Chains A and B, each alone.
Chain A
Amino acid sequence: MRGWFLPLAVLFGFIFLYAPILSLIVFSFNESRLVTVWGGFSTRWYGELLRDRQILNAAWISLKVAFWSATLATIIGTLGAFVLTRFSRFTGRLLLTGMITAPLVMPEVITGLSLLLLFVSMELTLGWPAGRGLTTIVIAHTTFCAAFVAVIAQSRLRQMDESLEEAARDLGAGPVRVFFDVTLPVIMPALVAGWLLAFTLSLDDLVIASFVSGPGASTLPMVIFSKVRLGVSPDVNALATIIIGIVLVAVLIAGWLMRRAMRNPL
């Protein structure tokens, strides 16, 4: 029984997970305008995509948002993780421990709604951020991406031999110097992995972005979603294929970096 059962189970698993994505990729090369009818191989829709100003614009916004929120999330998440792993006692430690991972389990709708309310009331009282757009999306994405980065950075910091930091102190480096000379280089692979993960998460997000975006700041997932509501057109397939490619590469690099980091616990 073991001879055929396991491979079959694996096959079903793969089909279940990847058949939809595979069909999407196949149909992105469809000549026909009808999404469900195969009309021969063509890269026509990729060409169409490049001429679509709206999509290109949205893609550019999405990349900018993903870049800035991943970068900010990496900085904030790393600092949070550092404080939690290296300082054993400070006021509010328990609260921070609990709250740092809260965005991971919070429903996106609630995160989006609460951030929208925050931005509106901030605009009314502080005058900033003026309206909603790129800035508010970046802030919103930073909040939940920082949680992911913090989790990854924390596991690496825990694994790191703390006597490395003590050795640097002992050799005459002050605490800030130690962080930049020793801690940061040692956990760097985990931070790069965290950045890539944050980048893809930001690129994928539709729900939170929809809540906090404003006119002229539609991200790619928002544009795709609105297009699909008018009927699936083949150029969306092409676009989705490209996004899958980018995300896949990022996730693979992140995974590879994390595995390499785990293997060198020095």
Chain B
Amino acid sequence: MIDARQPAIAAETKPWRSAGTRPFISVKNIVKRFGDFTAVSNVDLDIYKGELFCLLGESGCGKSTLLRMLAGFEQPSSGTITIDGEDMARVPPDRRPTNMMFQSYALFPHMTVEKNVAYGLLREGLSRAAAYERAGEMLRMVKLEKQARRKPDQLSGGQRQRVALARALVKKPKLLLLDEPLGALDKKLREETQFELIKIQESLGVTFIVVTHDQDEAMTLATRIGVMKDGIIEQIGEPREIYETPNSRFVADFIGSVNLVEGRIDAVAPDLMRIQTEELGPVLLPPQTGYTRNQQVWGAVRPERWALSRAKPEANPNAWQGVVEELGYIGHMSHYRIRLDNGVLIRASQSNRLRDEDPISWDERVWISVQPAAFRVLTR
């Protein structure tokens, strides 16, 4: 599903947009059961060459299991995995064209940094001299050439993370699998490393699949995101699609924060659609096709789409009055919780663009309004 308002981009950088492009990795109807528990159920996923795909979800949603099936550590209960046209069933992890960066980094504690990185090359049958030279190049790329002779326990967390990345990339895998690659780093380092990771991925042209529970990380890194829940991929899309056009209440709520109103459609016309909600009374939504009168729908609106004003907004019927109950000022933004007269709580946020504006403050009576087009209509 593509939002028509997005600018057109050349097909080769976004191959998933043009039908008929052959996917590089193809997961078909894959199921993984552990006893009675189904960790992954009927997942279909196509990933294209050079993508940085993020699997996003809470712990236990099956994202790591899916990653481990791609690496070959788990055998799918049913379904197929194809990498570059080759069926991966019965191919053991040591013969797959994939490498993995582990959440714990899994650096061999008894080997030096250099030896850790060269290990995969030596297993490939490369000569010692050639293997150590390539390992050295890789360590230069991650700026660790000075630490080559150290043992992993003599490195900082950030350095270990880079060794793990170098070790996973040195064999030039067709597909690199990263399990929470930045999970163990502190916030500041994580943000820096995110861009570092994108740069490395783009310069090497390796396809990445990243598993993460951190939505900011997924939004920053990914070309596309797959949002997982209970073993199912709820939605696949570019970060912007996931944020602006979520396909379910779960996705809308999981990525960013959202105000949801529930109601039944009471008017469908070519130029507008109106729903009758419990929370806000009648709400105007953008005109949509494919809906019928009396159908149950939800309207989702992001906090930053609300406009706050002291005066009644003209010419916007989607306006309500309330009192500022909570206000969180975090510098570039202010988060408001506004209690409407009927008791409903609305989350709204305003960006603080001017230094000298007179901000709306606690206990003020304000109007909040939202354009119909800011609503996303959801049916589930």
Contacts and interface: CB of A to CB of B under 8 A. Distances in A.
Contacts of A172: 94-95, 120, 123-124, 171
A249 interface: no
B92 A167 contact: no
A168 B108 CA distance: 9
A186 B109 contact: yes
B335 to A, nearest CB: 39
B135 to A, nearest CB: 12
B147 to A, nearest CB: 16
B367 interface: no
B369 interface: no
B110 interface: yes
Contact of A161 (B71, B92, B106): B106
Contact of B100 (A170, A174, A177, A181): A170
Contacts of B94: 169-174
Contact of B123 (A166, A171, A264, A266): A171
A171 B106 contact: no
Nearest to B109: A266
Interface residues of A, number: 19
Given A171-B171, A172-B171, A163 B119 contact: no
A contact face: mostly helix, strand, loop, or mixed: helix
Interface in B78-95: 92-95
A266 B93 contact: no
B291 interface: no
Nearest to B98: A170
B109 A171 contact: no
B104 A166 contact: no
B123 A163 contact: no
B102 A177 contact: no
Contacts of B106: 161, 163-164, 166-167
A170 B99 contact: yes
A181 B100 CA distance: 18
A185 B110 CA distance: 7
A182 interface: yes
B34 to A, nearest CB: 11
B97 to A, nearest CB: 11
Contacts of B299: none
Given A166-B93, A172-B124, A186 B110 contact: yes
B71 to A, nearest CB: 6
Interface string A170-196: 111110010001100110000000000
Contacts of B171: 171-172
Nearest to B177: A170
Contacts of A166: 71, 73, 93, 100, 102, 106
B162 interface: no
8 contacts: A163-B102, A164-B109, A167-B100, A169-B72, A170-B94, A171-B94, A171-B171, A185-B108
Across the A-B interface, the 3 shortest Cβ-Cβ residue pairs = A171-B120, A172-B123, A266-B109
Given A169-B72, A172-B171, 6 more contacts: A163-B102, A163-B103, A169-B93, A169-B94, A186-B110, A266-B153
